[in-house]
């Protein structure tokens, strides 16, 4: 081989290699530019034990997560304590401890309010014996056990807003929802000082520092920049952690418009018929002034009135009949977002998903396909009548005892926190069909079930009730539905092991209709929005007091009554000509009122709404 040929060959190889490098850089840069931009704010120092608190209002929207947590950085071994708000859920908050080997001990905790609508105080206590979580000063859940002792190294306190890849956990992301913002009003850290403290459980904690987020305190905090990790589709940048009006704001944006800025028009994501009403969802919070009949149109149908949900993204459009043809559109005109400098959607239309006929009993093969007269499971959305909000499918081939429907009990919807079924308003019986196919000891996997805002089962352990590979049915009678939707919430107490075969599960679901009643039975004219709505009663169950958050659509007199199970009235109050908007009332029962179930009712001009309260002394 001559030297001239040798040098030409080397030159050609180098040229091709450089082209490859350029191609790789181009692909990497293109991918980078296509990713969302999130934010993270974390302490410079690390802490072992203590009470960590914040006042926060997390971002709403499918596919994103806001958080407040501690993390052993570097994670060797792994140590983490989480509060995570999934934008997908309006009544679920994730509480988690992650230990050696990234072992999760998660509870997707039901709360009777939408955490994305307002600020609440959140926190957790970390001690050598337990981790306990708090909302608005009330303990809501506690973990003890051997895994707590693994949390023995110092951790940094962090907050972030990011976009996971796990759609079966956080839902499917739609970039039309950008930008999204999570707000943190303040943060406090209390040292763990047993026997000499003055705050928290048993006064075992002492305030060490607090930050009101008036500015960026660089002696205590740092902003992550160009940071990400496996499973995160967003890049965390320092420009997206900003301070506005005495708050830390974490931003989720595209790669061009970063920081606390919104230049995007609101978009109408979908529309769904529910009788003589159309439900529509916008990409972001809209200005309430735009939620009027003049700004919406339905082809060939008259619009009587419009109501905006407290989330400011969902509109209820009441129409003059329920006969809508396939292919009918909902049009939105001159809709502005709630940005200080409004972005206004001139006009947009989407096709309305029509209601499908549901026949009863409704039978669903959770986690599986069609079987006998059972329907296949499916993901929840505006175009379906039932479905899961999250979770994964698993199955076994082992024979199932106590049934001839082995195929039904062999499939399973696993690791689920929410399930929904559209039904006419009425009274129903619901049967959960269960078989523990993965755990063979007591207290290996347990969970709670909340159905229609009521705690139905607490610490449900299917193995302890029926053993392994054994069909076990649980029936709940007299379930009242007055919003045309059955809502199931599952919360782990003992999560189990791993990811795929852990957490709450259900093999089959049967919904039977006992009786129905029309909207007019509940609310008068079905085309007129109810004047009053209870947003939450929290905490519930409660010990010393419960705060009732409610909303009224127009000025009116409000009557509040609380009665015992036997019908005896234990409390009454009246409010004269309350203004439009949100209100709250704190009920602190007198000492003679005993533990038990009580019924709260709010009434206004013939509209009555109620909620069950559980007092535990």
Distance, in Å, from the CA atom of 316 to the CA atom of 301, rounded to the nearest integer, reads: 15
Active site residue 80: yes
Three-class secondary structure of residue 201 per DSSP: helix
The secondary structure of 511-533, three-state, reads: EEEEEECCHHHHHCCCCCCCCEE
What's the longest Cα–Cα distance across the chain? 106
Q: What angle do CA 405, 418, 231 make, to 5 degrees?
A: 105
Calpha distance 572→563 (Å, rounded): 9
**Alpha carbons 505 and 391: distance in angstroms, whole number:** 9
Q: Which DSSP symbol is given to 355? A: P
Contact 274, 484 (CB under 8 A): yes
Report the distance separating Cα 131 and Cα 145, nearest Å: 10
Residues 6+ apart with CB under 8 A from 74: none
Nearest to 609 by CA among 541, 532, 537: 532
Are 226 and 162 spatial neighbours (Cβ–Cβ below 8 Å)?
no
Q: Burial level of 509, CB count in 10 A (0-12/13-18/19+)? A: buried
Contact by Cβ (8 Å): 354, 324: yes
Non-local (6+) Cβ contacts of 213 within 8 A are: 184, 185, 186, 187, 243, 246, 247, 248
Q: Which of 40, 53, 80, 452 is catalytic?
A: 80
76: Cβ–Cβ under 8 A, 6 or more apart, which residues? none
Catalytic residue among 84, 284, 436, 452: 84
CA dihedral sign, ordered 453, 458, 463, 465: negative
- Token pair, residue 334, equals 């001159």
Kindly state the helix (H) or strand (E) to which residue 23 belongs, with its residue range.
helix 3-34
- Strands of 200-255, DSSP E: 205-211, 221-223, 234-236, 241-244, 247-252
CA-wise closest residue to 504 among 441, 458, 549, 547 = 458
Residue 342 corresponds to which tokens in the numbers above? 């409004």
Instruction: Give the Cα-Cα-Cα angle 503, 507, 508 (nearest 5 degrees).
Output: 135
Closest CA to 541 of 139, 247, 167: 139
Q: Where are the beta strands (DSSP E) in 88-164?
A: 92-99, 103-104, 107-110, 120-126, 131-135, 138-143, 155-162
Q: CA angle, 610 as apex, 425 and 364 as ends, to 5°?
A: 35
Distance CA 169, CA 418 (A): 11
Rounded distance, CA 414 to CA 394, Å?
7
Q: How far apart are the C-alpha atoms of 81 and 473, rounded to whole Å?
A: 35
CA pseudo-torsion sign 156, 162, 168, 170: positive
Active site residue 572: no
Give the residue numbers annotated as catalytic, written as ranges.
80, 84
């Amino acid at each position: 081989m001559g030297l001239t040929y040798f040098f030409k060959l080397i030159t050609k190889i180098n040229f091709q290699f450089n082209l490859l490098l350029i191609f790789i850089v181009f692909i990497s840069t293109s991918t980078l530019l296509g990713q969302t931009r999130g934010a993270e704010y974390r302490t410079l120092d690390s802490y072992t034990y203590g009470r960590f608190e914040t006042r926060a209002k997390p971002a709403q929207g499918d596919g994103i997560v806001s958080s407040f947590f501690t993390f052993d950085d570097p994670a060797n071994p792994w140590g983490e304590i989480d509060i995570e708000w999934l934008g997908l859920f309006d009544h679920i908050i994730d509480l988690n401890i992650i230990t050696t080997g990234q072992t999760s001990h998660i509870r997707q905790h039901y709360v009777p309010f939408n955490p994305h609508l307002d600020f609440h105080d959140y926190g957790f206590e970390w001690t050598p014996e337990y981790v306990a979580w708090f909302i608005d000063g009330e303990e809501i859940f506690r973990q003890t056990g051997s895994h707590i002792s693994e949390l023995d190294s110092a951790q940094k306190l962090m907050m972030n807003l990011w976009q996971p890849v796990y759609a079966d956990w956080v839902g499917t992301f739609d970039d039309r929802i950008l930008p999204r913002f999570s707000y943190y009003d303040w943060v406090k850290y209390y040292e763990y000082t047993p026997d000499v403290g003055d705050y928290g459980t048993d006064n075992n904690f002492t305030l060490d520092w607090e930050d009101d987020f008036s500015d960026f305190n660089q002696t205590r905090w740092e902003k992550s920049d160009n940071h990400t990790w496996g499973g995160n589709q967003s890049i965390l940048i320092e420009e997206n952690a900003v301070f506005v009006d005495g708050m830390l704001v974490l931003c989720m944006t595209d790669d061009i418009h970063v920081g606390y800025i919104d230049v995007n028009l609101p978009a109408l994501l979908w529309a769904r018929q529910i009788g003589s009403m159309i439900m529509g969802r916008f990409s972001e919070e809209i200005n309430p002034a735009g939620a009027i009949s003049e700004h919406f149109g339905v082809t060939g149908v008259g619009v009587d009135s419009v109501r905006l949900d407290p989330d400011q993204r969902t509109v209820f459009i009441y129409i003059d009949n329920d006969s809508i043809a396939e292919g009918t559109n909902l049009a939105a005109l001159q809709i502005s977002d709630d940005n200080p400098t409004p972005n206004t959607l001139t006009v947009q239309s989407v096709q309305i998903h029509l209601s499908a006929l549901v026949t009863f009993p409704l039978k669903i093969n959770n986690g599986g396909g069609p079987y006998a007269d059972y329907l296949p499971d499916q993901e929840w959305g505006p175009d379906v009548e039932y479905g899961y909000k999250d979770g994964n499918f698993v199955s076994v081939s082992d024979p199932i005892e106590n049934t001839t429907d082995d195929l039904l009990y062999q499939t399973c919807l696993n690791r689920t926190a929410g399930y929904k079924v559209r039904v006419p308003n009425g009274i129903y019986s619901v049967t959960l069909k269960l078989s523990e196919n993965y755990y063979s000891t007591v207290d290996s996997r347990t969970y709670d079930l909340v159905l229609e805002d009521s705690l139905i089962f607490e610490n449900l352990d299917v193995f302890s009730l029926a053993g392994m590979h054994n069909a076990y049915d649980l029936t709940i009678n007299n379930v009242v539905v007055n919003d045309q939707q059955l809502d199931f919430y599952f919360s782990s107490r003992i999560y189990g092991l791993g990811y795929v075969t852990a957490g709450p599960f259900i093999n089959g679901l049967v919904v039977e209709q006992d009786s129905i009643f029309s909207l007019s039975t509940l609310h008068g004219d079905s085309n007129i929005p109810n004047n009053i709505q209870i947003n939450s009663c929290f905490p519930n169950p409660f010990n010393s007091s419960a705060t009732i958050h409610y909303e009224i659509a127009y000025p009116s007199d409000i009557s509040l009554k609380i009665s015992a199970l036997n019908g005896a009235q234990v409390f009454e109050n009246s409010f004269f000509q309350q203004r439009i908007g949100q209100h709250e009332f704190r009920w602190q029962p007198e000492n003679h009122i005993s533990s038990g179930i009580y019924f709260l009712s709010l009434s206004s001009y013939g509209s009555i709404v109620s909620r069950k309260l559980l007092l535990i002394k």
